[in-house]
A and B are shown apart, each in its own frame.
Chain A
């Protein structure tokens, strides 16, 4: 049995997440992935913004920083650049990282700064009671889309890759061993890594879309039944992929990492040059 207590602030439990929420699954996956790296706890910073997922740092025994809505990556960039020897992990919901934090998201990708971002992507603003987010599926009802969501959704992996992230993967809260692997690879990757995790929020999303998601178990089953590995997806048409969750590693490449590049410049002057 894996001993989570070593990595948890056990006195801060129970957590705030609802029954049926995927955040606990992803948190444990993250902890197992961190354990696999063998990093010292003092050398790890976990940064978050605002939202349900962003309460995670309070529960884990690292240097932890719960910032303002959307801004986790901006704070994390400062930490990583000021102290590159630290391992910086950002946990963020879909609204936090893609709507209010969208600008920071694309620029962190562009800089290829060595930060691992785990997007807890449940397609809804859970903390505020279930408003539609940039990843709410087309047509789904929410408290601010009572007639069905009319906005198209973001594909996190496409934005990340297009903006310059050098490791991009997608997993789900159903396919847990696979998720462990993706997060671990993301942590070990030198450069900006994004792991988009498809999750479910039954409390604020499922309950107002009863036909599509009759219960919280059905939301997990939805992930099980609609996940398509990227290798298989390549052979499928756009119509066939409609409403599917494509999982896998979308991009993994080596490119110069921002803080290393910067440190080299700094070190070249350390002999007292001006």
Chain B
């Protein structure tokens, strides 16, 4: 291992480098703090390496442009933050129903509205899941380090291309802007998944047909003529209002992901097995939670941390296993209780203790530890 493989970079740059590693060849974006470094990096990287970058007129256009590019076969991405992510919601649904692989990076900041553009928050955890209208599949990955900004962006492209669906990466201002030393993997070291396309060119009569719940195998524009629409459609890709087909296809785009959880799920378990106090936390808040767990363990308190790296779909079975035996579930998060609603849904017996901060400051380990004083351990 040579020293040159190590870089001391900020999370946003690690994200951009991860995209490059995954083979991203198209970026469409709009400037917004605290995500802009990703666009800045890609604007220089892509044209130098056979790809394309475009700064669109707004975030809606950004997502539109990358969906268009992805339909020609490009691996495409955009990056944004809360207000821009809100604007993108309609077209996230479009990419879900039209089954177009794109990667959307949201470096979360304080809200609502313009809120705190330069401060961290975890404001979009639920918007990521429920933001666009209609039932739709959601894959959202939440890195908690600069290294994970790299590796989770690679994984986001892999999942997007495999499932032909939009994949969200939810960073936050801390993860996006802090600098850490990371090792850049060698080419070929991490698996890169390419999308499945029909084996032969020519007119594709059933672009939305799929075998036994596997993702549809769409062609790319220019290889074979087919139709793409945001209307409910049948396996030919053309609109239909046939209730049976609409129900089947709506269920299929959910099932293709939710029935292959082994491909999507990712989580970290720290001292969970015997934890009386189980923390549920993601992203930068989870780093404070991890520190709090260490401190509490030193004091002889059985604390543990369950950290979903894939937040959506939520790794519920694994969480329930630990939550069942814990007395308390502490949920530290930089919002007013978004992850708490998830804990409530999957916890029957344990008492839930929220730890919330929405003032633009990071949650500290001391803040989390302070609430344990009042617990009956």
Contact = CB atoms under 8 A, between A and B. Distances in A.
A and B part of one assembly: yes
Interface of A: 9, 12, 41-43, 45, 47, 57-58, 61-68, 71, 74-79, 81-83, 85-86, 103-104, 107, 262, 265-266, 269-270, 273-274
A76 B68 CA distance: 6
A258 to B, nearest CB: 9
Contact of B90 (A68, A86, A107): A68
B225 A64 contact: yes
Contacts of A66: 227-231
Given A65-B228, A67-B230, A269-B48, A103 B26 contact: no
Looking at B62, B65, B70, the one whose CB has the most chain A CB atoms below 10 A away is: B65
Contacts of A43: 222
A43 B91 CA distance: 25
A56 to B, nearest CB: 11
Contacts of B228: 64-66
Contacts of A75: 64-65, 67-68, 71
A241 B60 CA distance: 38
B230 A68 contact: yes
B127 interface: no
A47 B70 CA distance: 14
A228 B118 CA distance: 56
A47 B226 CA distance: 12
A66 to B, nearest CB: 4
A81 B52 contact: yes
Contacts of A83: 72-74, 221-222
B64 A67 contact: yes
A51 to B, nearest CB: 13
Contacts of A9: 227
Given A68-B90, A74-B61, A63 B221 contact: yes
- The range of chain B's interface size is 35 or more
Interface in B51-65: 51-52, 54, 56-58, 60-65
B68 A42 contact: no
A74 B231 contact: no
Looking at chain B's contact residues, the main secondary structure is mixed
B115 interface: no
Interface of B: 25-26, 28, 47-52, 54, 56-58, 60-74, 76, 90-91, 94, 221-231, 238-239
Contact of A71 (B48, B61, B71): B61
Contact of B68 (A64, A74, A270): A74
A103 B59 CA distance: 12
Contact of B223 (A41, A42, A76): A42
29 contacts: A42-B222, A47-B68, A57-B227, A58-B238, A61-B225, A63-B221, A63-B226, A65-B221, A66-B227, A66-B228, A67-B67, A68-B94, A68-B230, A74-B62, A74-B63, A74-B65, A77-B56, A78-B28, A79-B72, A81-B65, A83-B73, A86-B222, A103-B57, A103-B58, A104-B61, A104-B64, A107-B56, A107-B61, A269-B50
Nearest to B66: A78
A38 B197 CA distance: 28
B227 A71 contact: no
Nearest to A258: B54
B225 A41 contact: yes
A21 to B, nearest CB: 19
Looking at A57, A77, A85, A262, the one whose CB has the most chain B CB atoms below 10 A away is: A77
Contacts of A79: 68-69, 71-72, 221
Given A66-B231, A67-B94, A81 B221 contact: no
Instruction: Across the A-B interface, give the 4 residue pairs with the lowest CB-CB distance, nearest first.
Output: A78-B68, A74-B64, A78-B65, A82-B69
